[in-house]
Amino acid sequence: MEKFIQIKNLSFSFPGQQVLVDVNAEFNAGELSVILGRNGSGKSSLFNILSGLERKYNGEIYFDGVGRKEIKPHKDAKVRIGFMPQFHHSTFPFQVLDVLLTGRAAFSKYAPTAKDKKMAVDTLQSFGLEHLKDKPYTSLSGGERQLILLCRILLQEPDVLFLDEPTNHLDLHYQVAVLNHIKRLVKKGTTVICIMHDPNLALMYGDRFFLMKDSKLNELSETNINDRLIALEKTYGVELENVPYPNGHLIVPKVSINGD
Q: Are 51 and 63 in contact (CB under 8 A)?
A: no
pLDDT at 223: 80
Architecture of domain 3-221: 3-Layer(aba) Sandwich (3.40)
Nearest one of 211, 164, 152, 151 to 192, comparing CA atoms: 164
Beta strands 160-164 and 191-195 are parallel
Nearest one of 188, 111, 191 to 159, comparing CA atoms: 191
Q: Where are the domains of the chain?
A: 3-221, 225-260
CA atoms within 13 A on the CB side of 92: 5
Return averaged pLDDT per consecutive 10 residues of the chain, 260 residues in all: 90 92 95 94 93 91 91 72 74 83 72 87 90 91 86 89 89 90 91 94 94 93 87 94 86 74
Please tell me whether residue 88 adopts helix, strand or coil conformation: coil
pLDDT at 87: 60
As a whole number of angstroms, the distance between CA 88 and CA 85 comes to 7
Alpha-carbon distances of 127 from 130, 143, 146, 174, 222, rounded to whole Å: 8, 12, 12, 8, 34
pLDDT at 122: 92
Q: At what angle do helices 142-154 and 172-187 cross, to 10 degrees?
A: 10
In sequence order, which residues have a C-beta less than 8 Å from that of residue 99 and are 6 or more positions away? 90, 137, 148, 152
Instruction: Compute φ and ψ for 251, nearest 5 degrees.
Output: -105, 120
pLDDT at 88: 60
Q: Are 199 and 35 in contact (CB under 8 A)?
A: no
Instruction: Compute φ and ψ for 9, nearest 5 degrees.
Output: 50, 45
pLDDT at 107: 66
